Each structure stands twice: as C-alpha cells, then as structure tokens.
Copies of this chain bind each other. A is one copy, B any other.
Amino acid sequence: MKKIQGIIPPMITPLLDDDVLDVEGAKNLVENMIGAGVHAIFILGTTGEAQSLSYKCRYEFVELVCGAVAGRIPVLVGITDTSLAESVKLAEKAKECGAVGVVAAAPYYYAPSQQELIEYYTELADKVCLPLYIYNMPSNVKVFLEAKTVVALAQHPNIVGLKDSSHNMTYLNSVKYLLRDMPDFALYVGPEELTGEAVLHGMDGGVNGGANMFPELYVAMYNAAVAQDVEKVKELQKQIMAISTTIYSVGKYGSSYLKGVKCAASLLGYCNDHLAWPYRKFGAEERAKVAEALKALGAEVKNA
C-alpha cells in the first residue's frame, strides 16, 4: 500500500442523542471533506469520541462512513481499546466495510511500561487484519510511546506509521530522525497548530480536528508546506491559530476542544452537536460565543 500523505481529518461522530447516530450529519461531513480534497478520513479517534460510544454504535459508524465514502478516499478506523480482543474484532469490521488501516493508542486503564507496550503492540499488529498505525496520545492514555519504542515497533511489517498528538515537536523530530532510513513509515501530527511546521520538516500530514469544519484550510496548509512556501504557511497559520485560540477555548473545562468542534459543525449546518457522556454539549451562552467566533472568522453561520 502506498503511504497516505496529506490531511486526514479525525472525524467527529455526529449524534442525535445518546448512542443514536446523526446519519445525515455524517454524510454531510463526509461530502464536505471529500469535496475539499482531504486525503483520507480517520474515524473513531479521540475527536470521534470513540471510547464514549457503545460498541454497537461504533460498528454502525464504521459501516456508515465507509459506505458514504465509497472508496473515494482511504478510511482509517480507530481501534484503541483496553481489551486487545475488542480491538482485533473492530479491525475485522473495519476491513469488512472497506477501511484500509487501523489506528491504536496504548491500552489506557493500566499504564504499561515501554517494554510491555512493545509486546502489546507486537501482538496487536500480528492479530489485526489491516495495516496498523500507532498513536501517541499521552494526555488521554497516561503513557508516552517513547521514540525508542516507536523505532522498535516500526520494524514490524504490519506497523506502518505513527500519529503523534503529544504537542511535543522535539519528540516527533526525534522519531523522524531515528527513522530516517525508513521513509515508508508514515508520520502524522495530530494538533492542527503544528501541521505547517511538521510538513515543512518532512512529516507526512496532519490529523487535524479543525478539518471537520474547514477542510479546505488544512488542505491548503498541507499544500503550502509541501511546496515549502513559507510565507503562505505563515499566512495560513494565522487562520489556523485564529480558530484554535477562539473556538477551542470557549468554556472552562478540559473538554473545550471537543465541545467547540461539534458546536461549530452544528452552527455551520453540517450536523447535530450532541456529545456522548461524560460530556454534554455547550449551552446557549457558550454556543453564542462559538457563533461569534465563527463569524469573526468569516464563516457563514447557518444554524445559530
């Protein structure tokens, strides 16, 4: 399989109610993202609230999105779980529906050592039926996939890339340097604030939540960085930061990012803004602030 490069939105999971998918909303988002030129779609990640959904709902969403995408671009499916058996089973569903890869952060109830992570991921990569991307997400899973661990795992034939959401660019640069002789191993950066500099430095793309709302902006950033057009990168970076410092900063809890993305997607007319437990959507006051931020960004608010 050719390495995927570019913008891979971590798609939100639109919900009408607890564990009830917003089917039309999901289709709207898929069409908008494909229309904007994103290079792949990643579902059931952190932005997708995968862990908060029932398994039934996760399986339905895999079917729904793979069906909507219909092979136009690659679909990656998050299989992060505390149970290796459940990860393997979800990977089977993903393959059956046409996804081309699976993504797994570390198991997140216990805190395995680096050696235990190597053993765990080796077993997982042996067992899953699709290429596996490993996912460094220390704020949620408590453990950090150290650079040496990534290097060890990159030797496994079925481990094909890393998504890093640590915000620590020293780390990602270290991984890249240590894997300099393995150019086929994909390196993606999670935070959209870092896509420009990561791609300028040779990373393969961004798994950027903001692409649920404004996919064309992140595609433009990717293209500018690949072209080494630093002035364009800096100009687009301002737009990305304008989103990041407003929409993701409403509300007082650590969940502002998730709530902000879903609220904005709703205001832009794509889908419902219901969130899965343990989170609830923004109230009227916070919704008004997100609407205001969207207007300041020049976006058309259809659903205030």
Contact flag A197-B174 (CB < 8 Å), given A140-B110, A142-B142, A278-B112: no
A interface majority secondary structure: helix
A200 close to B (CB within 8 Å) = yes
Contacts of A168 in B (CB 8 A): 167-168
CA distance A276 to B54 in the complex (A): 22
What residues of chain B lie closer than 8 Å to A147, measured between beta carbons? 245
Q: Are the CB atoms of A120 and B241 closer together than 8 Å? A: no
Copies of this chain, count: 4
Name A245's contact: one of B57, B142, B169, B177 (CB within 8 Å): B177
- CB nearest neighbor in B for A117: B278
- Tell whether A183 is near chain B: CB-to-CB under 8 Å: no
- A120–B119 Cα distance when bound, in Å, is 34
Q: Which residues of B lie under 8 Å from residue A84 when comparing CB positions?
A: 18, 52, 276-278
> Does A244 make an interface contact (CB < 8 A)?
yes
Q: A5 at the A/B interface (Cβ < 8 Å)? A: no
Which chain B residue shows the least CB distance to A106?
B278
A92 on the B face (CB < 8 A): no
Tell me whether A109 and B140 are in contact in the complex, defined as CB-CB below 8 angstroms, given that A82-B51, A83-B52, A201-B196 are known contacts. yes
Chain A 9-25 residues near chain B, CB threshold 8 A? 18-19
Q: How large is the interface on A (under 10, 10 to 19, 20 to 34, 35 or more residues)?
A: 35 or more
Binds B, one of A153-161, A230-238, A263-271, A287-295: A230-238
A167 CB contact (under 8 Å) in B46, B170, B177, B230? B170
Closest to A58 in B: B83
A279 and B115 alpha carbons, distance in the complex (Å): 10
Answer whether residue A74 sits at the interface, using C-beta atoms and an 8 A cutoff: no
Assess the B194–A169 pair: CB atoms within 8 A.
yes
Complex Cα distance, B286 from A132, in Å, reads 33
